[in-house]
Structure 1
Amino acid sequence: MQKYIILFSIFFIISCNSQGKRPIPGETEYQKEENIRFKDASISPLKKKDLKKFKGLDFFPVDTTFIVTAKLTRTENAPIFEMATTTDRKPLYKEFGKLNFTLKGKNLELTIYQSQDDTRDEKYKNYLFLPFTDNTSGDESYGGGRYMDVMTTDISKKNTVVLNFNNTYNPYCAYNDKYSCPLTPRKNHLDIEIKAGIKVFKKH
């Protein structure tokens, strides 16, 4: 889960550009913030050789049809379980609920999870974890799937939440194999092409 709070303001971005520096790439503020973070050597997951050649992350064109409202059905008394990762690490998660939504005329469902480590951290206790794969995975997008952060504070009283697939991101393992990343559960495969959000990273 992304746990870096971007401290750069729009004013900072504008002031940098006004001083003749290269404009921050990205169609949206989300994309610009991601590119700023990845360019920062102190927090970037990129390997040194990739960081030197980094000019910006590759995203699908922003498409508002990939912004949907999902109905949340909370999972009662869900057991805590060890989620498989790319390493031997087994972080503890709990199923938070099911998200049902319609996209491109298809009725789809994803399971959303809550990290048990996050529930003990005041900064991240409202974060929910939504991993998924789709029919672009392994081709135009990262084969291990993509992630989306959802906030419990964004869930309405009617148990609906807006999912913006334009704001998806890759696990750090897509950039550097030193990281340990949760594996997307098989039940979270969407039988549709999600041509929105982050694309696969082409390593140098």
Structure 2
Amino acid sequence: MIDLKTHIRSGATLILLAFSLSALHAQDEAIARKEIEDHREKQQKEFKDKKGSPLLPADRRKFKGLKYYPIDLKYRVNAKFVRTENMPLFKMKTTTERLPEYVKYGEVHFSIDSQAFKLEVYQNPEIMKRPGYEDYLFIPFTDLTNGHETYEVGRYLEFRIPKTEDVIVDFNQCYNPYCSYSPRFSCPIPPAPNQLSIAIPAGEKKFKTTH
């Protein structure tokens, strides 16, 4: 039989464990928010840079910042990465007549509001030849916000070849293709398998109400 002192010690241990887990969760959230904020700050700086900005000169001169949804960690999801081997190259449609070649590298499987989803992950053989992009992957997607609060063509997520099957997909870091800022760019259109049947109110919003 457990005596009263043992019961009290056990209860105190459980309280301490719950407090520690809560503190760890808060720390993880703070790290995640900092990562998202850093991503947005870096993006803003690139848009202000005259040499690398995708903005038209008139838009860059009056640029005051990109538009984002408030950070919502509900849309920073734990996912499973599934590698797909020996897939053939295919030509991905773009907003122009350009047809760059991609290969389906894998899939990410996740859930939002108890609904299961998956997105295909692509690799471009030409991009991976660039220094620093050897492990670069790409997730273009559409969702039910497109054409309303977000760019009608869709949005993108950057991804890197993961070391484990457990990955994080953070829609707070999704961004608009360059063709949303200027017609001089040609941008991949998300393939049909990556058309999500849910609204993702996270990440970057439409740059202009009309383009």
Q: TM-score, normalized by length of structure 1?
A: 0.82
1:70 Cα deviation from its structure 2 partner? 1.2
Out of 46, 52, 67, the position equivalent to 2:55 is 46
Out of 87, 101, 116, the position equivalent to 1:107 is 116
- Find out whether 1:200 has 2:206 as its counterpart: yes
Task: Report the structure, 1 or 2, having the larger helix content.
Answer: 2
Out of 65, 77, 94, the position equivalent to 2:86 is 77
- Find out whether 1:188 has 2:203 as its counterpart: no
Q: Residue 60 of structure 1 aligns to which amino acid in structure 2?
A: Y
1:59 Cα deviation from its structure 2 partner? 0.2
1:149 aligns with 158
Instruction: Note the aligned Cα RMSD (angstroms).
Output: 1.4
1:156 Cα deviation from its structure 2 partner? 3.6
In the alignment, structure 2 segments of 5+ residues that lack a partner are: 1-35
Q: Residues of 1 paired with 2:150 and 2:166: CA distance?
A: 27
Q: Residue 142 of structure 2 aligns to which amino acid in structure 1?
A: T
Q: Residue 176 of structure 2 aligns to which amino acid in structure 1?
A: N
- Find out whether 1:31 has 2:40 as its counterpart: yes
1:195 Cα deviation from its structure 2 partner? 0.7
Secondary structure at 1:28 match in 2: helix
Q: Residues of 2 paired with 1:39 and 1:105: CA distance?
A: 40
Q: Residues of 2 paired with 1:48 and 1:122: CA distance?
A: 29
1:134 Cα deviation from its structure 2 partner? 0.4
Secondary structure at 1:34 match in 2: helix
1:110 Cα deviation from its structure 2 partner? 0.5
Q: Residue 169 of structure 2 aligns to which amino acid in structure 1?
A: L
1:116 aligns with 125
1:173 Cα deviation from its structure 2 partner? 0.3
Secondary structure at 1:148 match in 2: strand
Q: Residues of 2 paired with 1:55 and 1:141: CA distance?
A: 18
1:144 Cα deviation from its structure 2 partner? 0.5
1:57 aligns with 66
Percent of pairs identical after alignment? 42
Q: Residue 167 of structure 2 aligns to which amino acid in structure 1?
A: V
Render the CA deviation track for 1:64-107: whole Å, top value 9, x for unaligned. Answer: 11111111111121001111111121111100111110112211
2:173 aligns with 167
Q: Residues of 1 paired with 2:47 and 2:58: CA distance?
A: 13
1:118 Cα deviation from its structure 2 partner? 2.0
1:24 aligns with none
Instruction: Select the structure of larger CA radius of gyration.
Output: 2
Q: TM-score, normalized by length of structure 2?
A: 0.79
1:139 Cα deviation from its structure 2 partner? 0.5
Q: Residues of 2 paired with 1:46 and 1:163: CA distance?
A: 27
